[in-house]
Amino acid sequence: QGTRDHPPAQAALRERLLSAVVSCFKRHGAAAIDTPVLELRETLMGKYGEDTKLIYELQDQGGELLALRYDLTVPFARYLAMNKITNMKRYHVAKVYRRDNPATTRGRYREFYQCDFDIAGQFDPMIPDAECLKIVHEILTDLQLGDFVIKVNDRRILNGVFAVCGVPESKFIPACSTVDKLDKVPWEEVRSEMVGEKGLSPEAADGIGEYVQLHGGLDLIEQLLQDPKLSQHKLAREGLGDMKLLFEYLTLFGITGKISFDLSLARGLDYYTGVIFEAVLLQQENQHVEESVSVGSVAGGGRYDGLVGMFDPKGRKVPCVGVSIGIERIFSILEQRLEASGEKLRTTETQVLVATPQKHLLAARLKLISELWDAGIKAEMLYKKDPKLLKQLQYCEDTGIPLAAIVGEQELADGVVKLRDVATREEVRM
Amino acid sequence: QGTRDHPPAQAALRERLLSAVVSCFKRHGAAAIDTPVLELRETLMGKYGEDTKLIYELQDQGGELLALRYDLTVPFARYLAMNKITNMKRYHVAKVYRRDNPATTRGRYREFYQCDFDIAGQFDPMIPDAECLKIVHEILTDLQLGDFVIKVNDRRILNGVFAVCGVPESKFIPACSTVDKLDKVPWEEVRSEMVGEKGLSPEAADGIGEYVQLHGGLDLIEQLLQDPKLSQHKLAREGLGDMKLLFEYLTLFGITGKISFDLSLARGLDYYTGVIFEAVLLQQENQHVEESVSVGSVAGGGRYDGLVGMFDPKGRKVPCVGVSIGIERIFSILEQRLEASGEKLRTTETQVLVATPQKHLLAARLKLISELWDAGIKAEMLYKKDPKLLKQLQYCEDTGIPLAAIVGEQELADGVVKLRDVATREEVRM
Query: In the structure, what pLDDT confidence band is assigned to residue A104 with cuts at 50, 70 and 90?
Result: low
The closest CB to that of A57, out of B5, B59, B119, belongs to: B59
Contact A33 B11 (CB under 8 A): yes
Q: Which residues in B lie closer than 8 A to residue A403 (C-beta atoms)?
A: none
The closest CB to that of A11, out of B7, B34, B384, belongs to: B34
A119 has a pLDDT exceeding 70: yes
Query: In the structure, what pLDDT confidence band is assigned to residue B311 with cuts at 50, 70 and 90?
Result: very high
Residues B226-250: tens digit of each pLDDT: 999 999 999 999 999 999 999 999 9
Contact B3 A38 (CB under 8 A): yes
Q: Minimal Cα distance from B377: which residue of A? A: A27
CA distance A346 to chain B (A): 9
Binding site of A, by residue number, is: 71-73, 98, 114, 118, 267, 271-272
Task: For an interface test with A, give the residue of B74, B91, B101, B252 to mutate (most A CBs within 10 A).
Answer: B252
The residues with which B112 forms a beta bridge, in sequence order, are B96
Q: Minimal Cα distance from B30: which residue of A? A: A348
Residues A346-401: tens digit of each pLDDT: 999 999 999 999 999 999 999 999 999 999 999 999 999 999 999 999 999 999 99
Distance CA A321, CA A319 (A): 7
Contact B63 A1 (CB under 8 A): yes
Query: In the structure, what pLDDT confidence band is assigned to residue B284 with cuts at 50, 70 and 90?
Result: low
Q: Supply the pLDDT for residue A1.
A: 85
Residues B128-141: tens digit of each pLDDT: 999 999 999 999 99
A152 has a pLDDT exceeding 70: yes
Distance CA A119, CA A85 (A): 12
A287 has a pLDDT exceeding 70: no
Contact A14 B34 (CB under 8 A): yes
Q: Supply the pLDDT for residue A284.
A: 52
Residues A320-336: tens digit of each pLDDT: 999 999 999 899 889 98
Distance CA A254, CA B371 (A): 10
Give how far Cα A30 sits from Cα of A37, B75, B398, Å.
Answer: 21, 33, 15
Of A11-15, A422-426, B87-91, B173-177, which gets the smallest average pLDDT?
B173-177
Contact A6 B64 (CB under 8 A): no
Rounded to the nearest angstrom, the gap between the alpha carbon of residue A338 and the centroid of all alpha carbons in its chain is: 19
| Proportion of chain B above pLDDT 70, given as a percent | 96
Residues A194-244: tens digit of each pLDDT: 999 999 999 999 999 999 999 999 999 999 999 999 999 999 999 999 999
Rounded to the nearest angstrom, the gap between the alpha carbon of residue B394 and the centroid of all alpha carbons in its chain is: 39
Binding site of B for L-histidine, by residue number, is: 71-73, 98, 114, 118, 267, 271-272
Give how far Cα B35 sits from Cα of A111, B18, B275, Å.
Answer: 10, 18, 26
For β-strands B418-421 and B427-429, DSSP reports them as: antiparallel
| Closest C-alpha to A299, from A270, A274, A267 | A267
Residues B330-383: tens digit of each pLDDT: 998 899 888 899 888 899 999 999 999 999 999 999 999 999 999 999 999 999
Contact A384 B99 (CB under 8 A): no
Instruction: Please list, in sequence order, all residues whose beta carbon lies within 8 angstroms of the beta carbon of residue B303, skipping any fewer than 6 positions away.
Output: B129, B155, B272, B273, B274, B275, B276, B319, B320, B321
Q: Which residues in A lie closer than 8 A to residue B322 (C-beta atoms)?
A: none
A173 has a pLDDT exceeding 90: no
More confident residue, B47 or A80: A80
Q: Which residues in B lie closer than 8 A to residue A7 (C-beta atoms)?
A: 33, 83
The closest CB to that of B383, out of A111, A124, A366, belongs to: A124
Q: Which residues in B lie closer than 8 A to residue A131 (C-beta atoms)?
A: 383
Distance CA B208, CA B165 (A): 6
CA distance B429 to chain A (A): 23
Start-to-end CA distance of chain A, whole Å, equals 55
Of B120-124, B265-269, B336-340, B412-416, which gets the smallest average pLDDT?
B265-269
More confident residue, B183 or A67: A67
Rg (CA), chain B: 28
Q: Which residues in A lie closer than 8 A to residue B3 (C-beta atoms)?
A: 36, 38
Q: Minimal Cα distance from B88: which residue of A? A: A8
The closest CB to that of A384, out of B29, B32, B124, belongs to: B124
Contact B124 A383 (CB under 8 A): yes
Q: Minimal Cα distance from B141: which residue of A? A: A374
B293 has a pLDDT exceeding 60: no
C-alpha triplet A47, B383, A319: angle, nearest 5°: 20
Distance CA B50, CA B70 (A): 13
Under a CB-based contact definition with an 8 Å cutoff, are residues B322 and B116 in contact?
yes
Start-to-end CA distance of chain B, whole Å, equals 54
A102 has a pLDDT exceeding 80: no
Q: Which residues in B lie closer than 8 A to residue A123 (C-beta atoms)?
A: 383-384
| Closest C-alpha to B15, from A49, A19, A351 | A19
Under a CB-based contact definition with an 8 Å cutoff, are residues B353 and B369 in contact?
no
- The CB-side HSE value for B148 (13 A sphere, CA atoms) comes to 25
The H or E element spanning position A355 is strand A352-355
Q: Minimal Cα distance from B371: which residue of A? A: A253
B290 has a pLDDT exceeding 60: no
Query: In the structure, what pLDDT confidence band is assigned to residue A53 with cuts at 50, 70 and 90?
Result: confident
Contact A15 B32 (CB under 8 A): yes
Q: Supply the pLDDT for residue A288.
A: 44
Q: Supply the pLDDT for residue A60.
A: 72
The domains found in chain B, sorted by start residue, are 8-341 (3.30.930.10), 352-429 (3.40.50.800)
Distance CA A276, CA A163 (A): 19
CA distance B205 to chain A (A): 37
For β-strands A352-355 and A379-380, DSSP reports them as: parallel
Query: In the structure, what pLDDT confidence band is assigned to residue A295 with cuts at 50, 70 and 90?
Result: low
Distance CA A205, CA A198 (A): 10
The H or E element spanning position A324 is strand A320-325
B257 C-beta neighbours (distance < 10 Å), count? 10
The H or E element spanning position A302 is strand A293-303
Q: Supply the pLDDT for residue A264.
A: 94
Q: Minimal Cα distance from A60: which residue of B? A: B59
Q: Supply the pLDDT for residue B106.
A: 67
Ramachandran sector of residue B420 (left: φ over 0; alpha: ψ -120 to 50; beta: rest): beta
Under a CB-based contact definition with an 8 Å cutoff, are residues B150 and B259 in contact?
yes
Task: For an interface test with B, give the residue of A33, A351, A385 to mutate (most B CBs within 10 A).
Answer: A33
Q: Supply the pLDDT for residue A122.
A: 97
A261 has a pLDDT exceeding 90: yes
Segment A171-177 shows an average pLDDT of 87
Q: Which residues in B lie closer than 8 A to residue A120 (C-beta atoms)?
A: none
Q: Minimal Cα distance from B120: which residue of A? A: A383
Q: Supply the pLDDT for residue A105.
A: 64
Contact B347 A31 (CB under 8 A): yes
Binding site of A for L-histidine, by residue number, is: 71-73, 98, 114, 118, 267, 271-272
Task: For an interface test with A, give the residue of B117, B348, B354 to mutate (most A CBs within 10 A).
Answer: B348
Q: Minimal Cα distance from A27: which residue of B? A: B378
Q: Supply the pLDDT for residue A269.
A: 76
